[in-house]
């Protein structure tokens, strides 16, 4: 039997009414979940034993089942199974205090980022992406997205416990960069973000610590502005001109570059957020110097930061990663042109834990 999600406020209210529970009990249950980072009713010791058992009969906190978990010093990858048997993935990334200057993994934990999935598979079919090759199965529900954070917070609590100030370690940044195109699941993503931002019965995250990565679905970028959801945007750009983008990303044909520019200007004006542009480095495809100059011309006057992402090699796709010298030369042209640029760390890629590689194991099977 599938239990009801505890986040279903209506069902929880009905449960409480039937048992004549005081209203503060519901508050207490949500405090146990969001503040104390408990996902098992038996851990919720501020509630009576009878209530814990009763809740456990009817509700579940995390609506996904953990299938597998793989840990490294800097990342933990989790495979979740949905109630209807699909597999999705999330990755926790541990940032150490001096990671910019000192790669010592024993350095004090500074902040924690969680990369979550928004769909099972992805319908976008980008040429370079393993997740896209899996095809699209369905959208994730609000509670399936929130469950990824609830599980991660409980896992982090068990692994690291309390910080010096007495508060529990928890996810500080959420990025929608796992499986799926989040803006194609707009309504559920919006509802999940509401819970992330909420102080009560929510994660109290700052809007600046939530990032939606999108392949530029223009109507939904406009909707974000209209709905006043001022989270950060990472645009999967990957090419500085329409011809190359059409080849790499089928969706580009539907939404031309100049229309995207207009939509993004509206977004920047409304949110005052800098936009992150993701640019994949594929040997002899996207890493040519003339493309770097085009990228400078495209982004120079914008509130922009470019992330160069070395292509993640895998046997299912016939493309090759740019070599380090080409990446550095490309980066230099961008910086000389006045752009701020980061080359994404290669560790996650080696572990097949990086963007565009979620679903890798399934595909090679």
**In angstroms, rounded to a whole number, what is the distance separating the alpha carbons of residues 310 and 322?**
6
Note whether 317 binds ligand SF4 by CB under 6 A.
no
Note whether 281 binds ligand SF4 by CB under 6 A.
no
CB of 79 to ligand SF4, least distance (A): 16
Contact with ligand SF4 (CB under 6 A) among 6, 96, 132, 327:
132
Residues forming a β-bridge with 93: 75, 113
Determine whether 2 is exposed, middle or buried from the number of CB atoms within 10 Å of its CB (0-12, 13-18, 19+).
Answer: exposed
Residue with tokens 């009414």: 17
Tell me whether residue 59 or residue 176 sits nearer to ligand SF4 (CB atom): 176
CB of 292 to ligand SF4, least distance (A): 21
Per DSSP, the residues of 272-294 read: -PPEEEEEEEBTTTT--HHHHHH
Element (H, E) at 71: strand 65-71
Tell me whether residue 132 or residue 310 sits nearer to ligand SF4 (CB atom): 132
| Residues annotated catalytic, as ranges | 89, 355
Tell me whether residue 125 or residue 337 sits nearer to ligand SF4 (CB atom): 125
Note whether 122 binds ligand SF4 by CB under 6 A.
yes
Note whether 210 binds ligand SF4 by CB under 6 A.
no
CB of 52 to ligand SF4, least distance (A): 39
Residues forming a β-bridge with 65: 81
Contact with ligand SF4 (CB under 6 A) among 181, 260, 311, 352:
181
CB of 97 to ligand SF4, least distance (A): 31
Count of residues that interact with ligand SF4, criterion CB under 6 A: 11
Do 331 and 343 touch, CB atoms closer than 8 A? yes
Do 288 and 329 touch, CB atoms closer than 8 A? no
**In angstroms, rounded to a whole number, what is the distance separating the alpha carbons of residues 111 and 94?**
6
Contact with ligand SF4 (CB under 6 A) among 91, 120, 126, 149:
126
Which span sits near ligand SF4 by CB under 6 A: 120-128, 153-161, 226-234, 340-348?
120-128
Measured at CB, which residue is nearest to ligand SF4?
A: 132
Note whether 280 binds ligand SF4 by CB under 6 A.
no
Contact with ligand SF4 (CB under 6 A) among 201, 215, 309, 339:
215
Tell me whether residue 7 or residue 183 sits nearer to ligand SF4 (CB atom): 183
Note whether 129 binds ligand SF4 by CB under 6 A.
yes
The residue among 244, 272, 19, 258 whose CA lies nearest residue 126 is: 244
Contact with ligand SF4 (CB under 6 A) among 131, 139, 141, 286:
131
Per-residue burial over 202-234, b = 16 or more CB atoms within 10 Å of its CB, e = otherwise: ebebeeebbbbbbbbbbebbeebbeeebbbbbb
Do 130 and 317 touch, CB atoms closer than 8 A? yes
Note whether 124 binds ligand SF4 by CB under 6 A.
yes
Residues forming a β-bridge with 305: 276, 340
Do 216 and 246 touch, CB atoms closer than 8 A? no
Judged by the rule CB under 6 A, the positions of this chain that interact with ligand SF4 are: 122, 124-126, 129, 131-132, 181, 215, 236, 356
């Amino acid at each position: 039997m599938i239990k009801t999600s505890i986040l279903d406020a209506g069902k929880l209210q009905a449960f409480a009414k039937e048992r004549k529970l005081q209203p503060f009990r519901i508050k207490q249950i949500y405090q146990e979940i969001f503040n104390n980072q408990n996902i098992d009713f038996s851990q919720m010791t501020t509630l009576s034993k009878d209530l814990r058992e009763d809740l456990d009969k009817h509700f579940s906190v995390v609506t996904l089942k953990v299938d597998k978990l793989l840990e490294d010093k800097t990342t933990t990858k989790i495979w979740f199974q949905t109630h209807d048997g699909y597999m999705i993935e999330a990755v926790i990334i541990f940032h150490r205090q001096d990671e910019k200057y000192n790669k010592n993994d024993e350095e004090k934990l500074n902040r924690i980022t969680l990369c979550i999935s928004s769909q099972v598979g992805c319908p976008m079919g980008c040429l370079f992406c393993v997740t896209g090759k899996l095809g699209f199965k369905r959208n994730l529900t609000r509670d399936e997205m929130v469950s990824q954070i609830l599980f991660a917070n409980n896992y982090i609590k068990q692994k690291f416990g309390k910080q010096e100030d007495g508060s529990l370690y928890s996810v500080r940044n959420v990025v929608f960069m796992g499986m799926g195109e989040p803006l194609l699941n707009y309504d559920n993503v919006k509802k999940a973000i509401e819970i992330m931002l909420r102080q009560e019965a929510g994660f109290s995250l700052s809007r600046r610590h939530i990032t939606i990565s999108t392949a530029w679905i223009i109507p939904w970028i406009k909707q974000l502005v209209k709905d006043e959801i001022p989270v950060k945007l990472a645009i999967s750009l990957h090419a500085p001109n329409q011809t190359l983008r059409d080849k790499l990303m089928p969706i580009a044909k539907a939404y031309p570059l100049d229309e995207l520019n207009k939509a993004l200007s509206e977004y920047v004006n409304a949110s005052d957020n800098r936009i992150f542009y993701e640019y994949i480095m594929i040997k002899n495809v996207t890493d040519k110097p003339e493309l770097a100059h085009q990228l400078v011309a495209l982004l120079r006057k914008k509130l922009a930061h470019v992330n160069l992402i070395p292509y993640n090699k895998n046997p299912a796709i016939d493309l090759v990663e740019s070599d380090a010298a080409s990446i550095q030369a490309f980066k230099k042209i961008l910086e000389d042109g006045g752009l701020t640029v980061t080359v994404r760390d290669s560790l996650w890629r080696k572990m097949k834990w990086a963007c565009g590689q979620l679903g890798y194991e399934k595909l090679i099977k």
